[in-house]
Amino acid sequence: MENAVEVTNLTKVFGSLTAVNKISFQIKRGEIFGLLGPNGSGKSTTIRMLCGVITPTDGTGTVLGYDILKESEFIKQKIGYMSQHFSLYGDLTVNENLDFYGNIFGMKKNDIEDRKRELIAMANLTGKENAQARTLSGGWKQRLALGCALIHNPEILVLDEPTAGVDPVSRREFWHMIADLSAKGVTVLVTTHYMDEATVCDRIGFIYNGEIISINSPEGHYKEMGMDNIEDIFIQYVTELSDQKNLVSYKELNKNRKKSEKRKGDHDNE
């Protein structure tokens, strides 16, 4: 199985609102895939459908080969999920939070202890084992939440705005940990508003109004749009889609730009 995630025409309708509209994409095993889009564009709804928390209105999908409609119980066992709220128990210590999540996944006591040692070292939480979660600063809380999401050794990690409200140094450290996990074969699906961070992703999918508007590697996006900054590219996409007229003219413009570049290339080769 080469792809960890495959979705086709995935759709979610809430009453009169289509929050996610026929999106299709794949995530390769071990890949870091970033889903980027403004507030309300459908990122969390997409993630919730993949994790089996909500049922799609339409479309199909698999996570690690399991059907998101019929086999979500298997998916829940194999997925590590971290939300921007960090879902920690403030009155519990670092150790107790990790124990709690280990127990939820039905892990044996010895396995929890072994895994806790690894995760405390990975998350740089050594010395903080007995500190209550609520006393930790943002960066520590974030790393503890990541540890809790990883306690059961998930094959796929889903991070919904994991760096929101965390200082820049902790954010950078966090991304190093994500890159290390990916190098070890863990598949990562991440949403973020911090455009500069998105460049760590192997591929970035832009989502807007519930639709995927483009998926490419950071370099692929730069090449496609003739720009070298993810934020500018993102703004360009959103601006164009806010005004369909501009979108058409931009497409023409882009086509002409490509033609003119080709002509220039042909000319240079002469």
Ligand X SMILES: Nc1ncnc2c1ncn2[C@@H]1O[C@H](COP(=O)(O)OP(=O)(O)OP(=O)(O)O)[C@@H](O)[C@H]1O
Q: For binding to ligand X (CB under 6 A), which residues are involved?
A: 14, 17, 19, 37, 39-45
Nearest CA to 250 among 226, 221, 266? 226
Residue 37 CB, shortest distance to ligand X, in Å, is 5
246 is written with which tokens?
Answer: 């501009």
Residue 237 CB, shortest distance to ligand X, in Å, is 15
Residue 204 CB, shortest distance to ligand X, in Å, is 15
DSSP assignments along the chain, one per residue: --EEEEEEEEEEEETTEEEEEEEEEEEETT-EEEEE--TTSSHHHHHHHHTTSS--SEEEEEETTEETTT-HHHHHHHEEEE-TTTT--TTSBHHHHHHHHHHHTT--HHHHHHHHHHHHHHTT-TT-TTSBGGGS-HHHHHHHHHHHHHTT--SEEEEESTTTT--HHHHHHHHHHHHHHHHTT-EEEEE-S-GGGGGGSSEEEEEETTEEEEEE-HHHHHHHHT-S-HHHHHHHHHHHHH-HHHHHHHHHHHHHHHHHHHHHHHHHH-
Nearer to ligand X by C-beta: 9 or 256?
9
Residue 46 CB, shortest distance to ligand X, in Å, is 7
Residue 44 CB, shortest distance to ligand X, in Å, is 3
Nearer to ligand X by C-beta: 45 or 72?
45
Residue 56 CB, shortest distance to ligand X, in Å, is 13
Three-state secondary structure readout of 35-80: EECCCCCCHHHHHHHHCCCCCCCEEEEEECCEECCCCHHHHHHHEE
Nearer to ligand X by C-beta: 41 or 97?
41
Nearer to ligand X by C-beta: 1 or 17?
17
In this structure, what are the phi and psi dihedrals at residue 106, rounded to the nearest 5 degrees? 65, 30
Nearer to ligand X by C-beta: 72 or 97?
72
Residue 260 CB, shortest distance to ligand X, in Å, is 36
